[in-house]
Amino acid sequence: MTAPPKDRYNAVWLIFFMLGLGTLLPWNFFMTATMYFTNRLAEPATDRMASDDTNGNVSTILGINSSDARSIEPDRTPLQSKFNNVMTLCAMLPLLIFTCLNSILHARIPQKIRIAGSLAAIFLVFLITAIFVKIEFSPVTFFTVTMIKIVFINSFGALLQGSLFGLAALFPASYTAPIMSGQGLAGTFAAFSMICALASGSALEDSAFGYFITACVVILLALLSYLALPKLEYYRYYTIDNLKNTANSSTLNEVELKKDLLEKGDNAAKSGGKQSIVHILQKIWVLALSVCLVFTVTIGIFPSVTADVKSTIAGESEWGKYFIPVACFLLFNLMDWAGRSMTAITMWPGKDSKLLPIMVAARFIFLPLFMLCNVIPRNYLPVYLAHDAWYICIMIFFALSNGYLASLCMCFGPKKVDVHEAETAGAIMAFFLSLGLALGAGFSFLLRILV
């Protein structure tokens, strides 16, 4: 086997980063735009009150301090009250189902179709979302259409994520890190875009339109980046040359190479079957369960509970308007991104360390901590951590641990198996990641009720 070529200009690394950005950008753009969606779900009378404001600014809808929030939160419509929980459930269940399907389809449908096709479908859904900003709907119709779009986006996102982790498993362990880092940036980028929309003073409709068009541009760039990958020598070495056993591989045309790889994957699936998957799972079950628990905790509390925390120090200042966009969404995504990026510097503890699952289990402490913050409305629990500083400190450690531990698990998983099992191990890890997201989505209903 020849020595691997250099990744010139880190081109493959950067494209993997861009594709990682594309996997979670859709979900994050929908999640951080909850203020736009919930405003569209208001009753007609509320809509008229908003339209009577001569300024027509975003601050009309969002510029409320904590004392005002206490008085108007109970008056939210049923659709507004359950939007966050239903949105999370509609996102995570398709993600789980289609990630599971991807573990079956990855040997039958070419990788290029799975990745490029998913990106193209997500681009179209975002384009439709931007167009719908300018179209009037009744609250019930808008709620239904939004949930259908979320189901579609996360179904294709699951195929994209599973295929991407499977592809990264063919490369050195350090090439999973840019995907995880890109996913972290997706949330940061979405939160920053939302804050810019708030600060612009534009009408909510115009801000939302620009917000979703921005997402379209990023997804399109991710698609073009992926299409450029086969032209890179470093990429070809790990995806084609390393998987060819014949000496005359250079004489085969591109169609024959793809056919050979597809047959290789299909034969491996037939020869191994369920026994092969069980064999791989026996090697990586601790890491698979760990990444599942990481996201069960995270999605269980974020954003269903964390987005309902109100500032206690804002008073009449602008901080009340920016508290959730900054302290919840932007801070979470910045720290999550930092945690994911740390794996490019250090990978402690090691893949066989017992400390890693212990650190994952310790994250359950964040659930009661957030529930004891100033969540409004609340019915049962007292507020012990009312000050904004408590919420911000908890969020920093919560997000940092989420990004770092999840990235460690996803990097280590495929490296605990043999080379020919790496892609299947990557798909299994992606499935357990999605399982954690789905469990967290269901768990979020209970946690919000208990507050």
Distance CA 118, CA 135 (A): 26
Distance CA 82, CA 315 (A): 27
Distance CA 439, CA 451 (A): 19
The stretch 151-167 carries a mean pLDDT of 87
pLDDT at 367 over 90: yes
At residue 375, the 3 state secondary structure works out as strand
pLDDT at 286 over 80: yes
pLDDT at 245: 44
- The answer for 10, left when phi > 0, alpha when psi is -120 to 50, beta otherwise, is left
pLDDT at 276 over 50: yes
pLDDT at 384 over 70: yes
Residues 6+ apart with CB under 8 A from 344: 174, 177, 178, 181
In a domain, 3, yes or no: no
pLDDT at 227: 94
pLDDT at 352: 85
Pick from 306, 325, 309, 324: which is nearest to 398 by CA?
Answer: 306
In a domain, 244, yes or no: yes
**Worst-scoring range by mean pLDDT, 57-61, 147-151, 217-221, 224-228?**
57-61
In a domain, 363, yes or no: yes
At residue 309, the 3 state secondary structure works out as strand
Kindly report the CATH number assigned to the domain that includes residue 402: 1.20.1250
SS3 content of the chain, % helix, strand, coil (to 5): 80, 0, 20
Distance CA 303, CA 281 (A): 31
In a domain, 398, yes or no: yes
Backbone angles phi, psi at 375, to 5 degrees: -80, 125
pLDDT at 264 over 50: no
Parent domain of 64: 8-450
In a domain, 78, yes or no: yes
Mean pLDDT of the chain: 81
Q: Kindly tell me the burial class for residue 207, based on how many C-beta atoms sit within 10 Å of its own C-beta (0-12, 13-18, 19 or more).
A: buried
Q: What percentage of the chain exceeds 70 in pLDDT?
A: 83
For the record, the structure tokens of 112 come out as 């290029």
Q: Is the pTM of this model over 0.75?
A: no
Pick from 294, 285, 291, 325: which is nearest to 309 by CA?
Answer: 325
Residues 6+ apart with CB under 8 A from 443: 296, 299, 300
**Worst-scoring range by mean pLDDT, 161-170, 214-223, 324-333?**
161-170
Task: Count the domains in the chain.
Answer: 1
Look at 38 and 124; give whichever has higher pLDDT.
124
**Worst-scoring range by mean pLDDT, 24-38, 53-67, 242-256?**
53-67
pLDDT in tens, 322-345: 898 899 999 998 998 889 888 888
pLDDT in tens, 5-51: 888 888 999 999 999 998 888 888 888 887 788 888 887 654 444 44
**Worst-scoring range by mean pLDDT, 96-100, 117-121, 273-277, 378-382?**
273-277
